[in-house]
């Protein structure tokens, strides 16, 4: 099973060839997430058993502990490492912990808070060469390191309809000490994944209004019946599958701003109970001291009634000459998996702000939200969106876009 968090946490066992230092008076060098990172932080990496991965805190703390005599890698892909804004003309350097201080390879003592990258880092998205859900393409988003790829988000992409079906990510127990160093971005990276589709235009509100009105047969293509003019509720946002705030470091948060990580999600849901759910899971990981593996995906295609024929009409954001692309999901779903305790829970967000109270028609499982005391959704679903909970096994029997790697026979995460 591919588990991101549990494979990343090497902070207390960094093993990049100890130097033989025997002093034990100060067994650790400490890095404070809140105080020692600036606006252009490097990637922190370590190698263990010939595998390189990111360094994260190993406890519910904002302190990263590096053992006496061990090394930590400071990496600035596409940039240079700087000390007090002075470049050292390389994108990777190693720091050794000696007597509770970090040292460069030349013996110079370094204050970690003075380390930065010469410019902001840019993450990379690429196909892995593997298939997913039998007929789709697996991708990963992260950073290239020498011959390795350091993955933060993995997902499954439908190349035909230009939509991501699910992503896999993780929330560390130290998440509430995150350094939210980067703001939300106006520009998202599309790479080469959306050839033939003007993906930026697809999410512009005026385009949504025009395209949806055409599909449902509204004679006035500028009608605001479904897509409003300027309120913050009735339009389709670039809904993050993996939210930026699920990551601790700024460069890690950057990986979420790829269109591969976005689906058309009504803002009423995205900024309402779905946002509450995302924060709830971060708080749960932090308060219980557990790492959570997170699967987030979509299912079905939202349909509205055609104004003239009365038929149910599926909605897309791109109407090509031969094929419709970027379907509007009927459901957005999420699974939280606590592997250490073999527990999990599934959530279903109904991606339709026009249900008018007909919630029974969109239930695919028995709602078990009442069993999870940590959940506190807003009850005004017409204002905040409708989200309910399922047992994972029952959920996966109903939803075809859940990857096979999701564990079976889980106890409910209550």
What is the chain's percent helix, strand, coil content, to nearest 5?
Answer: 20, 35, 45
- 16 has which bridge partners? none
Q: Which two tokens stand for residue 128?
A: 């892995």
> What whole-number distance in Å separates Cα of residue 213 and Cα of residue 292?
40
Annotated active-site residue 240? The verdict is yes
DSSP letters for 175-218? GGG----SPPPS--B-TTTTTTS-HHHHTSHHHHHHHHHHHTT-
Q: DSSP letter at 410? A: P
> What whole-number distance in Å separates Cα of residue 244 and Cα of residue 138?
21
> What whole-number distance in Å separates Cα of residue 185 and Cα of residue 284?
27
Sequence-distant (6+) residues with CB within 8 A of 54 are: 8, 43, 44, 45, 150, 152, 252
Give me the catalytic one of 26, 105, 161, 240: 240
Centre a 10 Å sphere on the Cβ of residue 366 and count the other Cβ atoms it contains: 10
- Say if residue 270 carries a ligand binding annotation: yes
Distances (CA, A) of 101 to 56, 65, 72, 106: 19, 11, 12, 14
- Binding-site residues for Mg(2+), please? 270
- Binding-site residues, please? 270
Mind telling me the catalytic residues?
Answer: 240
């Amino acid at each position: 099973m591919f588990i991101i968090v549990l494979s990343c946490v090497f902070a207390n066992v960094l093993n990049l060839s100890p130097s033989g230092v025997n002093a034990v008076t100060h067994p650790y060098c400490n890095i404070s997430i809140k105080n020692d990172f600036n606006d252009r932080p490097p990637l922190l990496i370590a190698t263990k058993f010939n595998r390189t991965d990111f360094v994260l805190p190993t406890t519910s703390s904002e302190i990263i502990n590096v053992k006496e005599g061990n090394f930590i890698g400071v990496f600035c892909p596409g940039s240079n490492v700087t000390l007090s804004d002075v470049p050292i003309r390389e994108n990777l350097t190693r720091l050794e912990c000696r007597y509770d201080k970090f040292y460069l390879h030349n013996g110079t003592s370094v204050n970690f808070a003075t380390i930065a990258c010469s410019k902001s880092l840019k993450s990379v998205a690429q196909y892995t060469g593997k298939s997913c859900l039998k007929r789709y393409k697996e991708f990963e988003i992260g950073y290239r390191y020498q011959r390795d790829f350091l993955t933060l988000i993995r997902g499954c992409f439908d190349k035909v309809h230009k939509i991501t079906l699910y992503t896999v990510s993780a929330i560390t127990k130290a998440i509430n000490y995150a350094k939210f160093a980067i703001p939300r971005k106006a520009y998202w990276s599309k790479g080469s994944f959306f050839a033939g589709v003007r993906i930026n235009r697809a999410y512009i509100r005026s385009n949504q209004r025009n395209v949806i009105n055409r599909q449902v047969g509204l004679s006035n293509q500028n009608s605001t019946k479904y897509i409003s003019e300027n309120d913050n509720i009735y339009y389709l946002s670039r809904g993050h599958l993996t939210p930026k705030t699920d990551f601790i470091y700024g460069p890690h948060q950057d990986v979420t701003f790829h269109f591969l990580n976005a689906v058309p999600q009504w803002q009423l849901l995205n900024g309402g109970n779905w946002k509450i759910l995302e924060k709830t899971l971060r708080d749960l990981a932090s308060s219980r001291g557990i790492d959570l593996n997170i699967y987030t995906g979509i299912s079905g295609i939202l349909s509205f009634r055609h104004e003239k024929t009365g038929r149910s009409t599926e909605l897309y954001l791109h109407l090509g000459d031969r094929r419709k692309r970027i379907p509007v999901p009927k459901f957005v779903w999420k699974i939280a998996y606590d592997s250490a305790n073999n527990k999990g829970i599934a959530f279903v967000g109904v991606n339709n702000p026009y249900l008018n109270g007909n919630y029974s028609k969109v239930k695919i499982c028995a709602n078990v939200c009442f069993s999870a005391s940590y959940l506190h959704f807003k009850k005004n679903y017409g204002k905040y969106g409708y989200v309910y909970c399922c047992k994972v096994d029952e959920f996966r029997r109903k939803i075809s876009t859940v990857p096979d790697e999701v564990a079976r026979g889980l106890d409910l995460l209550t």
